[in-house]
Amino acid sequence: MALRAALRQKCGLIGILSQPSSSGSHSRVSAVLVSQMRNNATSPKIKVDFNQSTGVAVLSMQSPPVNSLSLDFLTELCISVEKLEMDRACRGLIITSSLPKVFSAGLDILEMYGKSPERCGEFWRAVQEMWLKMYSSNMVTIAAINGSSPAGGCLLSLTCDYRIMSDNPRYSIGLNETLLGIVAPFGTDKNIIKNTHTCSN
Ligand SMILES: CCCCCCCCCC/C=C/CC(=O)SCCNC(=O)CCNC(=O)[C@H](O)C(C)(C)COP(=O)(O)OP(=O)(O)OC[C@H]1O[C@@H](n2cnc3c(N)ncnc32)[C@H](O)[C@@H]1OP(=O)(O)O
Q: Which of 6, 7, 82, 94 is nearest to 50 (CA)?
A: 94
ipTM of the modeled complex: 0.95
What pLDDT shows up at residue 57? 98
| pLDDT 10s digits, 109-166 | 999 889 999 999 999 999 999 999 999 999 999 999 999 999 999 999 999 999 999 9
Atom of ligand 1 nearest to the CA of 152: 15
Alpha helices in 40-197 (DSSP H): 71-86, 117-135, 152-158, 190-195
Report the separation in Å between the CA atom of 73 and the middle of ligand 1, taken as the mean of its atom positions.
14
Reduced to 3 states (helix: H, G, I; strand: E, B; else coil), residue 142 is strand
Q: Are 103 and 149 in contact (CB under 8 A)?
A: yes
Task: From residue 191, give the alpha-carbon distance in Å to each of 107, 154, 155, 174.
Answer: 20, 10, 10, 10
| pLDDT 10s digits, 15-30 | 322 333 333 444 445 5
Q: What is the pTM of this model?
A: 0.80
What pLDDT shows up at residue 81? 97
What pLDDT shows up at residue 198? 55
Atom 50, ligand 1: which residue's CA is nearest?
108
What pLDDT shows up at residue 199? 54
Q: Are 130 and 74 in contact (CB under 8 A)?
A: yes
Decide: 152 in ligand 1 pocket, CB within 6 A. yes
Q: Is 29 exposed, middle or buried (0-12, 13-18, 19+ CB in 10 A)?
A: buried
Task: Please state, for a pLDDT cut of 90, what percent of the chain lies above it.
Answer: 64
Q: Are 96 and 183 in contact (CB under 8 A)?
A: no
What pLDDT shows up at residue 187? 45
Torsion over CA of 123, 118, 132 and 33, rounded to 10 degrees? -80
Strand stretches in the chain, DSSP E:
46-51, 56-61, 92-97, 140-145, 149-150, 162-166, 173-174, 196-199
What pLDDT shows up at residue 184? 58
Atom 31, ligand 1: which residue's CA is nearest?
148
Confidence bin at 62 (pLDDT 50/70/90): very high
